[in-house]
Amino acid sequence: MSNPDDVETNPLAEALPRTRAADSCAVVLFGATGDLAHRKLVPALFQLARGGSLPAEYAIVGFARREWADQEFRAQYHPALGKHGGADFEEVWSRFAPRLVFAPGTFDDLASYTALKHTLEALDRTHGTAGNRVFYLAVSPEYFATIIARLGEAGLIYPRQQESPWSRVVIEKPIGRDLTSALELNREVSRTLDESQLYRIDHYLGKETVQNILALRFGNGIFEPIWNRRHVKAVQITVAEEVGMAGGRGGYYDTAGALRDMVQNHMMQLLALVAMEPPVDLSADAVRNEKVKVLEVLPRWRPEDVFRSVVRGQYAAGSLHGHEVPGYHEEKGVAPGSTTETYVAIRLELNNWRWAGVPFFLRTGKRLPKRASEIAIQFHKPPTALFEPQEGSLGGANELVLRIQPDEGASLRFEAKVPGSRRRLQAVRMDFRYGASFAIPTPEAYERLLLDVMLGDPTLFTRTDELASAWRFVTQILDAWRMPGAPAPASYPAGSFGPAAADHLIAADHTQWRRL
């Protein structure tokens, strides 16, 4: 009889399912003249074309208000792609450019969608796109429901559950501003789309190091037996950013804040991957089912629980890398007297069998000293201390750190005896770095996610129940902050690691934030 733990027979031994060839299709970019399309989407598609990952027959259709011909659309992207194009750029571009097509239109005009339908039907004949469609909504969220409704009215969305040809829609965050608005948007969208046709994208899930959480936990025999409350003392999840409101982002950020911008999506997804139970296999539903179970046991807090367990902060003027930087209130687009948080620290516990009593600490902020995203699993100390205490020792409290960015990889800190006659210990580290271990470059997150949409693989995309559970947790915090008498954001100088209140929050559990 085969051993279920044997690498060759265990379905969890592979980090990712085997890929198949993507179907021929047309990718329609709504907001094709915008920043996201220029910086991320078209460059990702270009790299997929360079690597031979796109289907043999495809087209990329830009949809925006400009009255451009195809050649003008192509001319917009040639310089940007060429900056990092490599020696074979012109060769790849000569094959890629004829696949770029422009379709002028406005988001609320049904006639524009009728014209788009004619364009796509023509591409089926000239570019072999076989009637398959990806509609990527790289636009402001208030247009999501309108665009999807017009796609349905124009007959561009195929019947639900139709396997071939297919139509899929990708939407970016933010998806709602709270639980009520997120559910309302979902109700509007569901009038046109089946859940299987909707891909809610979170680019964090496309990062190789995030995907490697599953491989590390379930593809190795040493971690899963100790991945629980009996061995883990605490978990820290950090997403730190150096940037402030660069690029005129202050207007948007002042209506969102760190809780909506980072915690509700990126950090909730990282938490779910770290804390989830082993899935039965790596199919999309199996993985997402286990993630939902984690989000469903997030704490239900009263306002006083929020004030005790959550710290919000806002950066003041300070110094970063030797340069003076303005405070949040001095940033362009920020309302005078704004109480929008640029920093959040949270202490929470998960009410389930595996993690009961283990504190999870989440922190994210702008204008911190270093850009870094990581997950730290901190283990309990041994029950007795046999060795001499030594400065720099962990006291036997081992720590596993998963670095998401930069310097992608993982490290394990443990104790080793210092050479000599005394029984002294010192913390040392085993380190794994993607760049040093693999000869191939790590693909950009959008490359992986766009390919998954074309493949029809929703594993790395957020399902409705995931979205609702994350918003339920975040909305109770937002509601508490709006109450009379709620604590104002604590100030912290730009270039520091956040307000002192965040240090006090974690110190209550006799620990401290990791130095990044």
User: Which H helix or E strand runs over 319?
Assistant: strand 318-320
Distance, CA of 199 to CA of 467 (rounded, Å): 12
Q: Name 413's bridge partners.
A: 399, 429
For residue 81, give every residue at least 6 positions away whose Cβ sits within 8 Å of its Cβ, in sequence order, or none. Answer: 42, 43, 46, 89, 93
Tens of pLDDT, residue by residue over 335-368, are: 999 999 999 999 999 999 999 999 999 999 999 9
205-507 placed in CATH 3.40.50.150: no
Q: What is the pLDDT of residue 7?
A: 37
Average pLDDT over residues 475-502: 96
- 38 a catalytic residue: no
Distance, CA of 419 to CA of 416 (rounded, Å): 9
Pick 12 or 505 by higher pLDDT.
505
- 3-state SS, residue 391: coil
Taking the CB of residue 479, how many other CB atoms lie within 10 A of it? Answer: 15
Q: What is the pLDDT of residue 390?
A: 64
Tokens encoding 425:
């210990």
Tens of pLDDT, residue by residue over 294-318, are: 999 999 999 999 999 999 999 999 9
C-alpha distances out from residue 43 to 60, 330, 447, Å: 12, 34, 9
Domain(s) labelled CATH 3.40.50.720 in the chain stretch across: 25-172
Q: What is the pLDDT of residue 515?
A: 87
Tens of pLDDT, residue by residue over 139-161, are: 988 999 999 999 999 999 998 77
Average pLDDT over residues 381-407: 76
> Of the given ranges (5-9, 226-230, 393-397), which has the lowest mean pLDDT?
5-9
Using CB atoms within 10 A of its CB, is residue 266 exposed (0-12), middle (13-18) or buried (19+)? Answer: buried
**Maximum pairwise Cα distance, the chain:** 84
Q: What is the pLDDT of residue 396?
A: 66
Q: Under CATH, to which class is 25-172 assigned?
A: alpha beta
Q: Is the pLDDT of residue 387 over 90?
A: no
Q: What is the pLDDT of residue 311?
A: 98
Domain(s) labelled CATH 3.30.360.10 in the chain stretch across: 205-507
Q: What is the pLDDT of residue 389?
A: 64
Asked whether 277 and 12 are in contact (CB, 8 A), the reply is: no
Catalytic residue, from 266, 321, 329, 380: name it.
Answer: 266
Please provide the distance, in angstroms rounded to a whole number, between the alpha carbons at the two ends of the chain. Answer: 48
